[in-house]
Amino acid sequence: MSPSNRRDAKRTNTLGVRTSQFGVQLQMRFPARRSAGALVLALALIFALQPSAFAHTPPKVPKLSKQQLIALVDKYAAKYGIPRSIAHNLVEIESGWRQNARSYRGARGIMQLMPRTARGLRVNYRDPRQNIEGGMRYLRILYDQFRRWDLALAAYHSGPRNVIRFNGVPPKSRKYVARILRKSGTTASAKGQAASTAVGKASVAAKAPSPAAFERRQHVT
């Protein structure tokens, strides 16, 4: 190649493709000038040759049996001082013990946590363990706020702001609250149980932002 040809080659933008143990890689050499067209082509090749590199794979969540779910509900109900009967009947009405349950408003999982509520509680609503733990902790936070189970359940169902607004159980939550209390054999003014361990008490105290910080709303079941 003559010297002039070599100079012309150096001024020409080149694009190469090579493979490695990490997959397809692109080699771009722009010694003389940068080419927008070559960059667009490079990006197109990346997406065409390595689509898996950009695919989002959601983390797998365990599929638990109903017996395992019951054990988790019992565990966290005891940890946060929630009567077992209330915990069980709330889950039955909210999700029917279906860990993939989703309401038309977007509430998710066993405890039917809204994504915004889950973020406030710093739990992954897709994970049944975290969903249950977060829901029980949130119910305890609401009980500590209102000091009555009917009001705590109403706040869980339609949001604490509505309980404050109506100065009691909102109309749309009355059947919901009555069903849980009736099936639980618990009175509205029954006192909450003490958390089962010091860890439980500390967890509620340390992770108890204002209920309004993760206001949740969902349909009447």
- So what's the pLDDT on residue 67? 96
CA distance 4 to 152: 84
Annotate 135-153 with b (16+ C-beta within 10 A) or e (fewer): bbbbbbbbbbbbebbbbbb
pLDDT-based confidence at 121, cuts 50/70/90?
A: very high
Q: For the structural domain made of 66-214, what CATH number should be given?
A: 1.10.530.10
- So what's the pLDDT on residue 3? 58
Average pLDDT over residues 157-170: 95
pLDDT exceeding 70 applies to what percent of the chain? 57
Q: Is the model more confident about 220 or about 55?
A: 55
Round the CA-based radius of gyration of the chain to a whole number and report it: 28
Beta-carbon count within 10 A of 122 CB: 10
Identify whether the C-beta of residue 214 lies closer than 8 Å to the C-beta of residue 121: yes
Using one digit for the tens of pLDDT, what is the confidence trace for 54-108? 455 566 777 899 999 999 999 999 999 999 999 999 999 999 999 999 998 899 9
- So what's the pLDDT on residue 200? 43
Catalytic positions are 94
Average pLDDT over residues 45-59: 55
Average pLDDT, the chain: 76
- So what's the pLDDT on residue 167? 94
- So what's the pLDDT on residue 184? 86
Q: Which two tokens stand for residue 13?
A: 């933008």
Is the pLDDT reported for residue 113 higher than 80?
A: yes
Average pLDDT over residues 168-181: 96
Is the pLDDT reported for residue 120 higher than 70?
A: yes
CA distance 209 to 3: 74
Domain positions in the chain:
3-53, 66-214
Is the pLDDT reported for residue 168 higher than 60?
A: yes
- So what's the pLDDT on residue 116? 93
Annotate 100-121 with b (16+ C-beta within 10 A) or e (fewer): ebeeeeebbbbbbbbeebbebb
Average pLDDT over residues 104-116: 93
